[in-house]
Structure 1
């Protein structure tokens, strides 16, 4: 059967006319300002920029490829006044007051946690999570110390560089972190995100390079490597693969309701508990998962909805982040040799912390550093694949997913607590 090149699931004979209609409307002022116009514009722009990023040498191998290009190229389109002002304003409204960002994050957090195996969740808490915490603590302290020595500031280095890098990527990390910081510091999240985004991108690149180096070290020093096994004396990773979920229309609607209800619960609890609504939502979802309050079919509905949103709207979200939350001027002014050194320090600290704690808990050092360290410091799912590919350890993907999902959620909760101490 002939394989045809497709974008958004459409062959080029369909995609090109659709793209021309949407872009033509956008640049002539005919694009509707509501979600019926903004969503197709963000989708088309996202898939085109993603394709460029995934085909550009160096960027596709070390800087996250399409997702990074989608953010920064979209920001450049705004900065250099290429996009019409009406498109920029309607996109920004859709992302912010329109609630698209919160809508996406609600689906991501709820579905990813409810989609995990309960036994895996408990195992992660007993052994794997302490290793993650070790990496986070050492990374934060080292980055803060270097920031203080170089005049960048301990708190600035921790909040603007170390925590965003260790926070689980863009959609579930830097973006909600900017919201948390903005609320606590009474600052514009756009400015904060412009400082965090390049840190996350550079952190992803450094993590991939370090993964390749660790793979070579593992071959040279066999006693530190499990050749793909995480724990000493372990025969296999011991984690069941996630099953393919059956999709039906009712389950999508049910998943939408469950995800948004947990988000509303987080907002409601936030009126009485001094934590950010995202953190409270994470705790609520984890509690529901561990106690089995929801029937399995409802958990699967939330996971199905999460997968639907992630596969269809991630690129649209990234373009929206570029347009509404990324100030390219601030990004450029934030970058410096000191900034780069702090990013590298964050990654090195993550590896050292996980190596120390992992060794104490019976982990192979190389595998512990890759999964609990580098997979915390990369850009989520795409970063996990890149890091594990570079280290030639794709069999550790289930553990990297714990880093991205549970580890990222842990960082949001930790940030909500720390922000109250320092601000």
Structure 2
């Protein structure tokens, strides 16, 4: 045995590969231990033994998400030009579901866990609460009043450019705006495309289902392009440090100073969990009074008010931050896999990919990104962060899309601003569409 090991080490390359394999950690686990867990869970999934509840869904999503995320970050072409692990995780897991490689019962269980059990709400509530309460109060005051005008103005420029491209490609000014640009910026399916189709159906007398089928590809393709563009913009920011805030929307007095590292505490994280659920519940209660606006938007507003007014004691702010960091560290890859399995159908996406359609959507994405970056710089934001949050996140399919965009650009701490752009921007789109359908329809 010793002779075999010596011969392997003498060969050089194989020995190096063995050492590299030993260094690989997935979710903090050694490769052999991770493979053991993966084999057990995937075997149970393929044989129908896996529990059809949140345990089974989360187990599959964590195994697939962590492995696919690692692969995407290791493959040079994907890592450098196609959004890295986040994008690969979404598309690879979607392929497994779309083409029947994952059993149908597993796919349905994951869909139920994402959409009905509320895993997405659980994740986003933690991130919004922790990100806002962990923010510098002066930064929040300055950024909040500047952010939404930048986002709305960028959306307006993108909508107008979409109309121009509609004329150039022969699709038509009004049709391009109504059926491509506005669905892309409406805030996803439940809070965007579905109510938007209802507005159009009521104004035109057309079938709502037929209208939805026209809008879904625009929303899906727009989100995919936003993810890829966010990754490329983040890479550009690395090359040009002057435009890059490294996850900070605008400069603060604390730049360059080390923040005090808090000791992790399980009870503290439990308090953070309860606080996140409380704020999400408040947002849900208010949305019952104003159902046209998503609960996330009201949740953000309430948390921002509490932070700016100094209502929440420091102890509970730190609890919310600790909990959000735990959730983000351990569940992001699983959520990305869940997005691919439950919310992205590659067959639907592929059917929409005509050259004309792709050209229009690319122009919309580039316009909103460039305008948000330029306008953001004008008001004191870092262009990279402004472009990603105030620009690209207006084209996200709701909270899932925002997570994918921010994960691809490694800026998950900006989730509150991303949600502002998506939710409040989506509400503006619905209001505007009520008038535009009568003029352009």
Query: Shorter chain as normaliser: what TM range?
Result: 0.7 to 0.9
Residue 331 of structure 1: aligned partner: 349
Match among 412, 426, 432 for residue 415 of structure 1: 426
Q: Which has the larger radius of gyration?
A: 2
Q: For residues 26-45 of structure 1, what are the structure 2 equivalents within 5 Å? A: 26-45=45-64
The answer (yes or no) to whether the contact 1:190–1:326 under 8 Å persists in 2 is no
The answer (yes or no) to whether the contact 1:350–1:377 under 8 Å persists in 2 is yes
Once the 2 structures are TM-superposed, how far is the Cα of residue 131 of structure 1 from its aligned partner? Answer: 4.4
Match among 259, 266, 287 for residue 249 of structure 1: 266
Distance 1:103-1:87 versus aligned 2 partners, 3 A rule: same
Structure 1 spans left out of the alignment, 5+ residues: 165-175, 219-225, 231-235, 386-396
Residue 107 of structure 2: aligned partner: 88
Q: For residues 8-407 of structure 1, what are the structure 2 equivalents within 5 Å? A: 8-125=27-144, 130-147=149-166, 150=169, 151=171, 153-161=176-184, 163=185, 177-182=188-193, 184=195, 185=197, 195-207=218-230, 209=232, 227=242, 238-240=253-255, 243-273=260-290, 274-350=292-368, 352-354=370-372, 357=375, 361=379, 369-374=383-388, 376-377=391-392, 380-385=405-410, 405-407=416-418
Distance of 1:311 and 1:417 partners within structure 2: 33
Distance of 1:8 and 1:214 partners within structure 2: 28
Distance of 1:177 and 1:197 partners within structure 2: 8
Once the 2 structures are TM-superposed, how far is the Cα of residue 62 of structure 1 from its aligned partner? Answer: 1.9
TM-score (norm 1): 0.78
Distance 1:287-1:71 versus aligned 2 partners, 3 A rule: same
The answer (yes or no) to whether the contact 2:293–2:423 under 8 Å persists in 1 is no
Once the 2 structures are TM-superposed, how far is the Cα of residue 243 of structure 1 from its aligned partner? Answer: 4.6
Distance of 1:55 and 1:36 partners within structure 2: 29
Distance of 2:335 and 2:234 partners within structure 1: 28
Alignment partner of 1:16: what SS? helix
1:39-76 CA distance string (max 9 Å, x none): 11110011111122112232211221111122121221
- Root mean square deviation of aligned Cα: 3.3
Distance 1:119-1:48 versus aligned 2 partners, 3 A rule: same
1:80-129 CA distance string (max 9 Å, x none): 11111221121111111111122112112222222211111112135566
The answer (yes or no) to whether the contact 1:110–1:262 under 8 Å persists in 2 is yes
Paired residues in the alignment total 379
Distance of 1:17 and 1:190 partners within structure 2: 43
The answer (yes or no) to whether the contact 1:279–1:412 under 8 Å persists in 2 is yes
Structure 2 spans left out of the alignment, 5+ residues: 1-19, 199-207, 246-250, 394-403, 435-441
Once the 2 structures are TM-superposed, how far is the Cα of residue 27 of structure 1 from its aligned partner? Answer: 0.7
TM-score (norm 2): 0.75
Greater mean alpha carbon deviation, residues 343-352 or residues 330-339: 343-352
Once the 2 structures are TM-superposed, how far is the Cα of residue 201 of structure 1 from its aligned partner? Answer: 2.9
Residue 388 of structure 1: aligned partner: none
Distance of 2:275 and 2:213 partners within structure 1: 29
Distance 1:320-1:120 versus aligned 2 partners, 3 A rule: same
1:17-42 CA distance string (max 9 Å, x none): 11111111111111011122221111
Distance of 2:326 and 2:237 partners within structure 1: 35
Once the 2 structures are TM-superposed, how far is the Cα of residue 359 of structure 1 from its aligned partner? Answer: 6.7
The answer (yes or no) to whether the contact 1:64–1:205 under 8 Å persists in 2 is yes
Alignment partner of 1:294: what SS? coil
Distance of 1:135 and 1:99 partners within structure 2: 32
